Every structure is written in C-alpha cells, then in structure tokens.
Amino acid sequence: MTNTPEKSRLFQPARLGALHLPNRLVMAPLTRNRAGADGVPQAIMATYYAQRASAGLIIAEATTPNAVGQTYPNIPGIHSDAQVGGWRRVTDAVRDAGGRMFLQLQHGGRVGHPDNSGLVPVAPSPVPLPETIHTPGGRKDAVVPREMSLDDIRSTVADFASAARNAIDAGFAGVEVHAANGHLLHQFMARNTNHRTDAYGGPVAARIRFVVEVVRAVAAAVGPERMGLRISPRVTVNGIEEGDTEYLYPALLDALADDGLAYLHTVFADPDDALWQDLRKRWSGTLIANPALGWGGPLPADGGKEAGERLLAAGADLISLGRAFLANPDLVERLRIGAPLNPLRDEGWMYAGGETGYTDYPTLAAQAA
C-alpha cells in the first residue's frame, strides 16, 4: 500500500555528509543547453535552479571538466574563470532560496563533435558513436574519436580533480562524477567501446581502473564526503554494450567500498532486480536511486512518487527524479499534498534555449492566482 503523504519517507529529512536535507527528493541532473557558446552559465539558469530549491538536493546538469569533453552546443563547463563565475551566480541564487546543490562532472568522450568543441573527441579506443550528433549546424555524423594515450588519461584525471575544486569555489556543496549513460567513464568500462590492450583494457579489473582513478583524484581534491558517483548498469544509451554487467559493477563498488564517498547514484533502479539488490548490499553508504520510469516514455501521473517509495522500502536512502522536476518547480509540495502535476511540453523545448519549457512552468500558487 502506498504511504499517505504525511507518513511517506520521501518527505522526511536526511543527512548527506555535512548537509541537512529537508526531504529525500533529489532533482536529477538534466541537460538543458542554456549556457553560452563559451560554456558560461547564463542568468536564466540561476532562475531555473532557484525555482526548484525546495528539492532536498539539486544535482546540477552535466558540466564539462575540460574543452575536449564537451558533448553538445551550449553545455556548461567548469574549467575557466568565467564559467566558475557563472556557476557562482547560480549557487548564490539557490542558496538564497534555501537550496543545496552538487554539480555533475561529465566528459563526453566519443559523444562529441569538432563543431561543438573545436577539437576531435577522445575515447578509450577509436570506436565512433553509431549515430548522428547535434551540432550548431544540425545533426551530423559522429567522427572517429582519437584513442587516449597514457598522458591523455593522466591529464584527464587531473582535469576532473581541477574541475571539482572549481565547483567548490563556485559555491557547490559537492560534485557527482558521471560514469553513466555512455559517456567517457562508461566507455572505459564497456567492452564494445574499450578495445585497449594496456592496463586500462581487457579484464574487468582493468576496465574499471580509469573510473577508480578519477574518483580518487576528485576525492583527494575536495574530500570524499563532497563527492558522489553515478552509474547506469545495463543502460545502452549512446551505443554502449557493457558485455559483463553482472561482474563489472560489483567489482567497481568493491574497489571503492572503503573510499568514504558521499553517495552512489544508480540510474533506472528497480527494487526487484537482483543486480540492484546486490549493489545495495555491497554499498554501505548513501544510495540515491533513480526509478526506472522509461526513457522518453510518458511520465507517470504521480511523477514517480510510488516508484520512489518502493525504492526507499527496498533500501534506497534518497530518490532522484528528473522530468517531474523539469515541469514542476514546486514538485515537492505537489507530491506532498497529492496535487496534479504540470504536463511536460514537447521534448524540443527541453533543449531549445530561452524561457519556454524552462522557467515558465507554473507553480501551484501561480495557477491559483
């Protein structure tokens, strides 16, 4: 039976490292393409995130740690002084609204294009993305990425650590390392994108090595209590085929078990899935679970509330929701009182730029006025 709003654990407070969270609802990172062409967050982004500050925690959108890691046009970065300053305006606005923020650090790897970054993408192996990619000139065929040298790997690890320090300087409470959804760290873990024969390829222990090195470099830079890790077992987006999922993620979690990270964030979590249950048992720290609501499918009428409560009952500590927060700046209150949710606009508005489909979703108060 679904809990009543008053008794639901979704609305109970929680701790995350030094942070006091007023509820267990996390706004998941959502790419929105509203930064400037130079990767500097714009003023409208401060408005957008401040509108959603009632979330227990906001994890801001995927942000690049270096220039070559850029995925699509108008994606924010955190590797220049101007980008740090832009993000500081965002975190100030959220803090003034009573919220708390982490920043997701994402390197696209082969998910990129010279028309977007000015650089040839890099990846563990020269295996191109098997689909077109969005550029300022429209969708174009992906290019063959340059295989990363050992020097490239070392410098990229350093870039993640530097980006994490920049994020703290920009006012974020912490960072999330993105090792999911077919981007660079996931590409190192997956067999179909990692054909290396050196210490970073081949057996599972070698394919998780880059992820472990990035995590530990970031933890050393800002403190493990200020960082989380996001994973997406079995997710095949961006042409990823892991090949040995049932061995890959237990090995990764075992390698990081004693590192004291703030949290693990799992995508498409299913409480009935044996792998998810195993990962929950292996991970002794905070677990953020993102319910399996269907990629691009219709949003449940309750925004994922019932699915989130099932995951809490199965051992998750916090629940992240994406599209429900996108369309409902006051999602926490709507779920608390059982109010209807705003319908999502056409997906094209998610990435179109400007206020429409971004900062113009009404709150309950605005609808009642």
- Domain residues for the domain of 225 are 9-368
Q: Is the residue at 3 inside a domain? A: no
Tokens of 78: 């955190």
| Number of domains comprising the chain | 1
What is the pLDDT at residue 179? Answer: 98
Q: Is the residue at 185 inside a domain? A: yes
| Residues in the chain with pLDDT values less than 70 | 1-6, 295-296
Q: Is the residue at 56 inside a domain? A: yes
Q: Is the residue at 244 inside a domain? A: yes
Q: Is the residue at 2 inside a domain? A: no
What is the pLDDT at residue 165? Answer: 98
pLDDT per position as a tens digit, 326-336? 999 999 999 99
Tell me, yes or no, if the pTM score tops 0.85. Answer: yes
Tell whether the torsion through CA atoms of 91, 15, 224 and 280 is positive or negative: negative
Residues 6+ apart with CB under 8 A from 45: 32, 34, 35, 76, 86, 90
What is the pLDDT at residue 26? Answer: 98
What is the pLDDT at residue 5? Answer: 47
Q: Is the residue at 295 inside a domain? A: yes
The Cβ of residue 224 has, within 10 Å, a number of other Cβ atoms equal to 20
pLDDT per position as a tens digit, 181-217? 999 999 999 999 999 999 999 999 999 999 999 999 9
What is the pLDDT at residue 351? Answer: 85
What is the pLDDT at residue 69? Answer: 98
Q: Is the residue at 1 inside a domain? A: no
List the CATH number of the domain containing 115.
3.20.20.70
**Cα separation of 33 and 246, whole Å?**
34
Q: Is the residue at 43 inside a domain? A: yes
